[in-house]
Structure 1
C-alpha cells in the first residue's frame, strides 16, 4: 500500500498561501509543491511523529483543505523523491537505520581530529563555566598542572597508531587538525608547552592549528599567531564592557574586556581568523545591540577573517539557573527581532545562520544535500581525541578531568590503551541509538543533539537533545528559499569547531 514516508518534512512559506516546501529526511530531496499536494501527502500518513525523550519540540504545521489526488505524473515524482513509499513504517525505519549506520561507519574512517589540553588551569572565574569546580574545589587541585614535553612526545608517537585504527594510510599525506583547549591553553606560562606542540606537529608533517582561548594573554604568542601557525581563534565576549566584566572576571573580581578586545585586534592584524563567541542568556541578550555597535566601532567586521556568533548558556553547573537560559530557537527569534530594530546586529550571527547558508547552497545547486548529513552530533562520536596534561584521552572536551570517564590513556611507551566499553559508548551514540531519533524526520540534519547537554539535563547519555530543532529547521529552510528567490547574496562564513 502506498503511504507517505515517515521522514517527510513540510515547510510553510510565509510569502505564499498556495505553496509550501517538502523536504525528505534521508533522500535529501527539496521540492516546492501546492498545498493541495501537501494535503494529499498528509492524508496518507499512518503515524504521528514521535515525541522527544528530552528537549523542546514543535508539532508539524496543520494542513487543512479538501483531499484531492494529484496527477499520476506528480505521484510518480513524489515516489521518486521519496515522499511516497510502499515500505511499511517498520521497514522504512530499518532502511533508515541501515543508511545511518553506513554513514556513521564512513565518518569514523576519516582522519581523526586532535585536541590538546596543555592545562586545566585558567586565569578567569566565569560563573557559568562547566569546569568551575576544577579551580574552586581543593579536591581538584591536583589537576592544575601543565603538560610536560614528555607527554607531548608520547602523544605524537601514538598518533600514527590512532590514525591506522581509523583506516588512514601511513602515506596519506593528510594534515593533522589540532585544537588547543583548556582550562586556558594560551596562558603566558604555557608558552614553552605550546611552542613545543607546534614544533612536534610540523616536524611530523602538515598541520592546522586552532585554539579555544579567553584571549587575555595573546601578547605572549605574537610570533605564533599566523596563517601558517595558530591560524584560528575562538574568543568569548559576553557583551559590552560593563556586561562582560560582570561575567568573565579574574580571580580578584576584575574585568577582562579591554585586554581581550585589544588582543582580538592584535590577532586580526596578524592575519589570524577570529570567531568571537557570545554566551547568551536572558540576562544579557538585550545588550547585544550595544556589542554589535562596539564591533563596528572597532572595525572588526571589516576584517575578512572575523566572525561573531551567539551560543546559548546551558545550566551545566550549580551556579546557573535554568530559568535564566534560552534554547537556540528562542535565541534565534530574539535575534531576528533585534535585527529589525538595530541594523548593526547583522554583524552577529544567529545560531542557525550556518544551517540556512547550507540550505541556500542546496537551492543554488552548489551542494548535494546528503553531503551535509550527520549520523551523529559531533566528532566526539566518531573521530575526536582529547589529550589532557596527564596523557589521558577523552572523547569530548566538555567531559574531561575524571579518569572514570576517560576513553583511554597513553602509556609511557606511547601505547594507546582504550577503555573499550567507554570508548564504544561515546563512538556509538548516533541517530539510531535511541528510539526517538531513529524515527525522527530531522535526524540526518540534527545529529541527535549534544550528548554532554543531554547528560547534564537528564543524566542519560543516549537520550536526544532536540533544542527546538524542528522549528529551527523549518524556519531556516523557508528563509533560505525566500533569500534564494530574491537573489540575496550569500555571506561567507566560517565553520565552527563545536556546534553548541
Structure 2
C-alpha cells in the first residue's frame, strides 16, 4: 500500500503558504512543491514523528484536505523517496542498511590530533579541562610530549591505517591537528617542529591547530599554506569582556596579544576561524566586537571568518541558566544582525547548514548526509603526551576512557569495549534517532553533550535541530530564489541597453 516515507521533512516557507519544500531524510532529495501536493503527501502519513525522550519537536504544519495529484506527480514523488510501498519496518531496515554503509565510509580514513601537552597558560572559567590546572593531583599530566613518544606514534601510524584497511603507500596523506591544553606554548616549539618534520618525512601532511594564539608569534616560521595552514582561535567579546574571561594565571587579559597574532597569521595567508564563545552575559557585547574586527581590517581577508558558538555548562563553574541552546543563540544573533549593520562580519551559528543548503539549490554540491555526528564516532585519534588514544578531544586525560594506546615498542593496542562504545555510535544506536526524519543531517548530536545531559554517550542530543534545519533550509531557498529573480532583472536590463 502506498504511504508517505517515515523520513520526509516538511519545510514551510515564510509568507508563501501555497509553496513548500520537501526534503528526504536519507535519499537527500530536495524539492519545491505546491501546498496542495505537500498536503497530499502529509495525508498518507502512517504515523506521527516520535516524541523525543527529552523535549519536544517543533510544531508541524497544519494539514488541509488533500487533493489527488496527477499520476506523473505521484510517480515523481515515489522516485524521489517521498512516497513508498515499503512497510514502516521494511523502510527502517533500509534506513539501517544505508546508515551502516555511510558510517563505514565516514570512518575510512583516520585523522590524527596531537596533544603535545595538557597544560595551558590561560585559566578560562568554562574550560572542560579546568580541573587539570587547579587540581595538584593532575600535576604529572601536564608534561610535554617527548621526541621518543613522537617516534613511537609515527611508527604506529601504518598500523592504525592497516586497522582501517587502508593499503600501505609510500607517503600517504595524513591530516594532523594540534590541540591541548594549549599546543602552541612557546616552550612546546621544539616538539611541534619535530612532529611537523616527522610528518613531512613519512607522509604528505596537512596541519591545523586549535589554539588560544597567545604565543603564536613564536611559530611565525611554521605558518603558511604549506605548513600550519589553519588555526581556530577563540575570542570571548571585545577587549574589556574578553579580558575578564580568557585570562592568564595572574588574572591579566589576553586580547591584545591574540589580536596582534591574528593579524600576523592573516598576512601569512593562514586560514583563521575565530570562534566566539557566547552566553547570555556577553551576547550584547557582539556589536562592539564586530566593530573591533572592522577596525583591525580582518574582514577584508578572504582567509578570515568569525562565528558564534554557545558556551556549554562543562564544569561546575558554569551556570547552565546563563547558556543558550544553538537554536536560541541563532535567533538572538539574527536579531542582532537586524539591529546593527556592523554585525555582518560575524556569522550566525548555523551558517554551515545554510551554506550547504544553498549549494544544493545552485547545483554546486550534493547533500551532505552524516549518520554520525563527528570524527569521534568514526576515525579521529586524539593522541596525548603519553601515547594514549582517545576518540574525542573533550574526553581525554583518563586511561579508563581511552580507546587504545601505543606501546613502547610502537605496537597498537585497541581497547575493544571503549573503542566500540565510541565508534559504533550512529543514528541507529538509539531508538529516537533511528526513527527521526532529521537523523542523517543531524548525526545524532554531540555524544559528549548527550552524556552530560542524559548520562549516556548513545543518547540523542537534538539541540533544537528540527527547527534549526527547517529555518535554515527555508532561508537558503528564499535567498536562492531572490538571486535568480535579480539575475533575470539584470539580464533584461542588459538586453535593453
TM-score normalised according to structure 1 size:
0.95
Following superposition, the deviation at residue 108 of structure 1 comes to 1.7
Task: Decide whether the 8 Å contact of 2:23 with 2:30 is kept in 1.
Answer: yes
Aligned to 2:229: 231
Q: 2:372 aligns with which of 362, 376, 379?
A: 376
Which of 446, 455, 464 is the matching residue for 2:460? 464
Following superposition, the deviation at residue 30 of structure 1 comes to 0.9
Task: Name which of 188, 192, 196 aligns with 1:190.
Answer: 188
**Residue of structure 2 aligned with 1:402, choices 398, 406, 422:** 398
- What is the CA deviation profile of residues 361-401 of structure 1, one whole-angstrom value per residue up to 9, with x for unaligned ones? 111112122xx111100011111001000010000000000
Q: Deviations over 1:42-64 (max 9, x none)?
A: 1211211112234x543342224
Partner of 1:364: 362
The 1:8–1:42 alpha-carbon spacing in structure 2 relative to 1, beyond 3 Å, is same
Q: CA–CA distance in 2 between the matches of 1:345 and 1:400?
A: 36
CA deviations 1:246-287 (Å, max 9, x no partner) are 110111111111111111111111111111100111111111
Q: How far off is 1:170 after superposition? A: 1.1
Aligned counterparts of 2:246 and 2:282: Cα–Cα separation in 1: 13
Contact 2:51–2:57 (CA under 8 A) maintained in structure 1: no
Quick check: 1:57–1:466 contact (8 Å CA) kept in 2?
Answer: no
Query: Which deviates further from its counterpart, 116-125 or 449-458?
Result: 449-458
Instruction: Summarize the alignment of residues 249-268 of structure 1 with structure 2, pairs less than 5 Å apart.
Output: 249-268=247-266
Secondary structure (helix, strand or coil) at the match of 1:279 reads strand
User: 1:423 matched to which residue of 2?
Assistant: 419
Distance change >3 Å, CA 205–CA 90, structure 1 → 2: same
C-alpha distance in 2, partners of 1:172/1:309?
39
Q: How does 1:94-113 map to 2 (within 5 A)?
A: 94-109=93-108, 111-113=109-111
Greater CA deviation, 129-138 or 165-174?
Answer: 165-174
Contact 1:313-1:325 within 8 A present in 2 as well: yes
Report the secondary structure of 1:76's partner residue. helix
Aligned partners of 1:57 and 1:467 also within 8 Å: no
C-alpha distance in 2 between matches for 1:418 and 1:131: 24
CA-to-aligned-CA distance 1:322-370 (integer Å, 9 cap, x gap): 111101111111111111111221111111111111111111112122x
CA distance in 2: counterparts of 1:415 and 1:269, whole angstroms: 42
Task: Give deviations 1:89-125, integer Å, cap 9, x for gaps.
Answer: 111111100110111112222x210000000000000
Work out whether 1:444 is the aligned partner of 2:443: no
Show the counterpart of 2:86: 87
Partners of 2:170 and 2:177 in 1: how far apart?
21
> Which secondary structure state, in structure 2, belongs to the residue aligned with residue 463 of structure 1?
coil
Q: 1:474 aligns with which of 440, 454, 470?
A: 470
> 2: distance between equivalents of 1:488 and 1:268?
34
Aligned residue for 1:39, secondary structure, equals helix
Counterpart in the other structure of 1:494: none
Which residue is 1:274 aligned to? 272
Task: Measure, in 2, the Cα distance between the counterparts of 1:488 and 1:205.
Answer: 45
Cα distance in 2 between the residues matched to 1:303 and 1:34: 42
**Counterpart position of 1:48:** 48
Secondary structure of the corresponding residue to residue 431 of structure 2: coil
Can you give the 5+ residue segments of structure 1 that lack an aligned partner in the other structure? 490-500
Task: Measure, in 2, the Cα distance between the counterparts of 1:40 and 1:59.
Answer: 21
- 1:2 paired residue number: 2
Aligned to 2:200: 202
Checking the alignment, whether the CA contact within 8 Å between 2:120 and 2:181 is kept in structure 1 is: yes
DSSP-derived class of the 2:273 partner: strand
**Alignment: residue pair count:** 485
Deviation string 1:219-248 (CA, Å, 9 cap, x unpaired) is 111111121111111110000011101110
Matches within 5 A, 1:226-375: 226-369=224-367, 372-375=368-371
Let me know the Cα RMSD of the aligned residues: 1.3
Greater RCO structure (CA 8 Å; 6+ sep):
1
Are residues 172 and 359 of structure 1, via their aligned partners in 2, closer, same or farther at CA, if it must alter by over 3 Å? farther
- List aligned pairs for 1:130-169, cutoff 5 A: 130-169=128-167
Q: CA offsets, 1:5-52, max 9 Å, x none?
A: 110000011131211110010111111111111112212112111122
Cα separation, 2, equivalents of 1:286 and 1:278? 13
Contact 1:208 1:231 in 2 (8 A): yes
- Are 2:58 and 1:62 equivalent residues in the alignment? no
Deviates more, 1:185-194 or 1:100-109: 100-109
For residue 436 of structure 1, give the secondary structure of its aligned residue in structure 2.
Answer: helix
